[in-house]
């Protein structure tokens, strides 16, 4: 009778372990797919390379075709990086040293990309190296972004050094992290003194507190797009002073978060000096206009807008609400006998035929007549067309009355002289007539003259 001997073994744990391993491998492959990480396996005995689907996608190769050999892989690497990659692989095979590197590669269509790769050895149970295994990640977009950033920073640095203004950058806490050479030229201090909080010491003591408060308030409340503007003085080490105009904007990242601030300082010392001189001239002119009782007017010729100062309203005997601020409102206030001459002078000045300089009479609403002396300059655009007439009016009524009185007195003197001459001739031709006494004659003559 034959016998059957059977042995059974519980392999549930092993099967479970195998299932867990397959599940972990599936999860790893899924994670690699989501992260777009390719994996590869290099068998040293067969020299066969096995790629994951993601690696085929990265290199632009068809997964249905045969997987590349090591030589083919080397040929796809950029010539400038090929030797470095091969050396790293050989070092790993010979000495078991894992490697991690970045290199350029050509896709199947010829486009150039960047790859991050990491590899390590595979050992058999005896510790012998039988292959390599690794992962690879397409970092082309990151490299392009880095290159764009480097180019942007290079352009910024070039512009910052070429710019005729001082440029600075602050971090998110308000500490200065960069100043250009122009800042050093303006302040007369080395670049190092512009970093951190030291830049505040360059500001003139009289402006320091005001500037610090204004900047601190702006830093606390500013949003993306907000612009800070301010003026202050810089006190240089040689005690010379310059005025600067400051502008500053928040610097944000792609999400709109403020990561710092960038600004400029422009030397406006010449402008400030010109403003002081202009103010001095303006004050002197205002004093001269006031002391001379000069009225000023401005006529916008294309838009027919006439602007008067307060003295003009006094000269014409009206108030601002009684004036239509147009040419006809002025012309209608002229004496009827003087209007044609005055308007003709205006047209001659606009045509460039003659300077505007004349005298005319104006009639107040109450009928009072005043004499005016007027003068003006015509401002023209590049085409020669008149744009503005700017002029003055001066009340010369008292002078005109004095001139009239002088004319009347002169006429009386001439008449008296003629009477005196006639009397003298009469005396010479008729000597028998007794001459009046000297005293009576002088009194009579005095009365005639005055």
Residues 112 and 159: their CA atoms lie apart, in Å, by 31
Span 68-84, average pLDDT: 91
Question: Tens of pLDDT along 319-352?
Answer: 999 998 899 999 999 999 999 999 999 999 999 9
pLDDT value of position 278: 82
Question: Tens of pLDDT along 267-325?
Answer: 999 999 888 888 877 677 767 667 668 898 999 999 999 999 989 999 999 999 999 88
Question: Tens of pLDDT along 207-216?
Answer: 999 998 998 8
- Please state, as a whole number, how many other Cβ atoms lie within 10 Å of the Cβ of residue 133: 15
**433 pLDDT exceeds 60?**
no
Span 186-193, average pLDDT: 92
Question: Tens of pLDDT along 18-74?
Answer: 666 565 555 444 544 444 789 999 998 888 888 988 999 999 888 887 778 888 889
User: What whole-number percentage of the chain has pLDDT above 90?
Assistant: 47
Which of 29-33, 171-175, 330-334, 398-402 is the least confident region?
Answer: 29-33
For the chain, percent helix, then strand, then coil, each to nearest 5? 45, 30, 25
Residues 378 and 374: their CA atoms lie apart, in Å, by 13
Question: Which long-range contacts link 364-368 to residues 24+ away (Cβ below 8 Å)?
Answer: 364/316, 364/317, 364/318, 365/317, 365/318, 365/322, 366/317, 368/317
**430 pLDDT exceeds 90?**
no
Residues 427 and 436: their CA atoms lie apart, in Å, by 11
pLDDT value of position 35: 47
Going by pLDDT thresholds of 50, 70 and 90, the confidence category of residue 443 is low
**Residue 51, CA distances (Å) to 45, 56, 223 in order:** 17, 7, 50
pLDDT value of position 24: 53
pLDDT value of position 267: 93
Burial of 14 (0-12, 13-18, 19+ CB in 10 A): exposed
pLDDT value of position 421: 77
Going by pLDDT thresholds of 50, 70 and 90, the confidence category of residue 403 is confident
pLDDT value of position 104: 94
Residues 187 and 235: their CA atoms lie apart, in Å, by 7
**83 pLDDT exceeds 90?**
yes
Question: Tens of pLDDT along 102-128?
Answer: 999 999 878 999 999 999 999 988 889
CB 182 within 8 A of CB 164: yes
Please report the beta strands in 180-314, taking only residues with DSSP state E, as ranges in sequence order: 228-235, 241-252, 258-267, 294-300, 305-308
Torsion of CA 138, 140, 145, 146, to 10 degrees: 90
CB 36 within 8 A of CB 59: no
């Amino acid at each position: 009778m034959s016998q059957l001997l059977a042995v059974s073994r519980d392999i549930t744990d092993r099967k479970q372990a195998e299932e867990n391993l397959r599940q972990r491998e599936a999860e790893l492959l899924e994670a690699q797919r989501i992260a777009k990480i390719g994996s590869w396996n290099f068998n040293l005995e067969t020299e066969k390379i096995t790629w994951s689907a993601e690696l085929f996608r990265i290199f632009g190769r068809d997964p249905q075709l045969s997987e590349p050999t090591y030589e083919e892989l080397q040929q796809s690497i950029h010539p400038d990086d090929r030797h470095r990659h091969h050396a790293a692989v050989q070092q790993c095979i010979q000495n078991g040293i894992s490697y991690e590197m970045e290199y350029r590669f050509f896709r199947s269509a010829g486009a150039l990309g960047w790859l991050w790769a990491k590899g390590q050895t595979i050992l058999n149970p005896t510790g012998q190296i039988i292959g390599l295994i690794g992962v690879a990640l397409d970092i082309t977009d990151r490299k392009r972004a880095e290159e764009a950033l480097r180019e942007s920073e290079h352009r910024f640095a070039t512009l910052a050094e070429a710019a005729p203004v001082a440029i600075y950058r602050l971090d998110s806490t308000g500490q200065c992290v960069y100043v250009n050479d122009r800042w050093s030229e303006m302040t007369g201090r080395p670049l190092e003194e512009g970093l951190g909080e030291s830049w505040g010491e360059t500001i003139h003591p009289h402006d320091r507190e005001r500037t610090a408060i204004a900047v601190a308030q702006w830093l606390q409340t500013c949003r993306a797009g907000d612009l800070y503007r301010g003026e202050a003085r810089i006190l240089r080490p040689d005690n010379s002073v310059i005025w600067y105009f400051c502008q500053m904007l928040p610097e944000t990242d792609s999400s709109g978060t403020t990561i710092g601030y960038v600004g400029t300082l422009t030397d406006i010392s010449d402008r400030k000096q010109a403003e002081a001189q202009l103010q001095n001239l303006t004050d002197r002119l205002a004093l001269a206009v006031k002391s001379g009782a000069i009225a000023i007017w401005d006529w916008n010729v294309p838009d027919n807008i006439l602007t008067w100062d307060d003295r003009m309203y006094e000269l014409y005997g009206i108030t601002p609400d009684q004036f239509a601020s147009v040419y006809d409102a002025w012309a209608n206030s002229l004496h009827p006998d003087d209007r044609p001459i005055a308007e003709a002078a205006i047209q001659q000045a606009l045509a460039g035929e003659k300077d505007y300089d004349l005298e005319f009479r104006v009639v107040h609403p109450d009928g009072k007549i005043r004499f005016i002396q007027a003068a003006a300059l015509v401002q023209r655009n590049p085409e020669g067309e008149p744009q503005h007439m700017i002029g003055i009016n001066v009340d010369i009524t008292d002078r005109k009355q004095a001139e009239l009185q002088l004319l009347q007195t002169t006429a009386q003197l001439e008449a008296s002289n003629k009477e005196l001459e006639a009397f003298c001739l009469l005396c010479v031709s008729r000597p028998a007539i007794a001459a009046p006494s000297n005293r009576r004659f002088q009194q009579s003559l005095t009365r005639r003259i005055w």
